[in-house]
Amino acid sequence: MKKILFAFFLACFALPVCAEQTVRVLLAENLKNAQIQSSGLVYIYAKNSKKKYKVSKPETITVQSTGNGTVRIGALKYRGTLVIEPSKNVTLTFQKNSYTGKLYAVPNGKTFKIIEYADMENYLLGVLPYEMSPSWPLEALKAQAVAARTYTLMEVHRRKNTEFDVYNDVRSQMYKGSGKVYDSVRQAVTATENQILTYKGQPFYTYYHANCGGGTDDAKSWTGSKEATVKPLRGASCSTDSHSKSYSWTRKVPQKSINNFVNRNGLKGSVKKIKVAKKSRTKRAETLEFITNKGKKELSCPKFRLSVGSSVLRSCKITDIDKSAGGFTFSGRGYGHGIGLCQDGAKGMAEDGKNYKKILANYFPSSDITKQ
C-alpha cells in the first residue's frame, strides 16, 4: 500500500454494527491450473451448494480451468465458482504462502482467479509482518494494526460491489496469509481488536508509508485531488524518523526511463534538465518541470516516481537533481508518498516510550480511536 498511488477516495458511511468482517483478497488471477496443499480436513463444494465433498487427509488439491467459465477439482466439475474450505486449524498453502480462510476458484473465461475470504483480524495477521517488521516495538505494531484495519475497512466498503476487496500486494497492502503468525503481530492485532480510526464519527483512509523525511504532507499533495482533505490527512510533524537509512538517499534514474515517461505524457525529445516546479508545505515536490530540445512541460512528481520505480526514486521530497552520465541523479529524504502514518517515525516514537494511541494521534491529528 505504501508505494502505490490511486485516485483519492473519501467516503462517509455508517460504522458496521457487526464486529466480524470478511475481507476478500485476490491472491492470483489468469490461472489455468493451480496446486493447493491442505494440512488436514477440508471441504470442497460449488458456491451456494449444500452438498460438500470431504478430503480428510493432507493432500495436494489441483484446480483446473476447462474453459467457458468451468473449473474442476478432481471429479467435481462446475460452471461457476468452486470453494475449498479448511476446517479449524488447517492451512491451505498456495504459491508458497499459507492461508486459513476459504479459497474461492472464480472462473473468468478460459482462466480463473483465486480469492481468499478471510476474517478481518486474521487478514491483519498476514499483513502486519510484511508492512512493518515484527521485531519492532509492540506499540508501533499496534499503531500499524489500527491503521491497516481502518484502511482495509474503507476498501471493503468501496469495493463491495466487485469480486474482491483488496490485492495481496502494494496495490493494496502486502499480504502473505495467516498460516504463519509472529507472536508480536498476534499481540498487536489482539490488543487493538476491532479498533479503527475515525474523524467526526466516520472512518477515513489511513494511509501509511516507510519514512516521511521529517514531516508528513496533506493528502492533496500526493493525490492531486481538489476535494477537501479530512483534517487527520492534512499533514503532521515528525522528529523521530531520522534513525532510518531511508531518511536520506541518492539514486540515479536512467535517461531511458525519464524519456519514456515524458514522451508518454506529450513531451517530445530527450530530457536535458529537470527541476522542481511546485512544492508542498513540507517541501515535497508536487510537480517537476522537464525540459527537452523540443520544449518543456510540468508533470506530476508522484506519477513520475511510480513510472520510474518507487524503490528507485524513494520519494518526492527531492533536495537535489543533477544531470549525470546515462541519466539524472536525485537526492532526497524519506521513502514513500509521505501521507499519514510514518512507519519509521512510529518506531522512533515507540522507542521513546509513546504508546500507540499517542503515535496515531500524532500522525492523524483530530482523529479518534473507535471500536466497531
pLDDT for the residue 216: 96
- Tell me the residue ranges of DSSP E strands in 192-340: 195-199, 202-203, 208-209, 248-254, 271-279, 285-292, 295-300, 318-324, 327-333
Amino acid at 335: Y
Amino acid at 311: S
104, three cell numbers: 474461492
Domain boundaries, given as residue ranges, for the chain: 23-118, 123-242+337-371, 248-333
pLDDT for the residue 255: 98
pLDDT for the residue 337: 94
pLDDT for the residue 4: 38
pLDDT for the residue 222: 74
pLDDT for the residue 226: 54
The residue count for the chain: 372
Spatial contact of 100 and 39, defined as CB atoms under 8 Å apart: no
Amino acid at 344: D
Task: Give CA separation, 89 vs 99, 125, 173, in Å.
Answer: 10, 15, 25
- The series of mean pLDDT values per 10 residues for the chain, 372 residues long, is 39 48 97 97 92 93 93 93 96 97 95 97 98 98 98 94 95 95 98 97 96 93 68 95 96 97 97 96 93 96 96 96 96 96 98 98 97 87
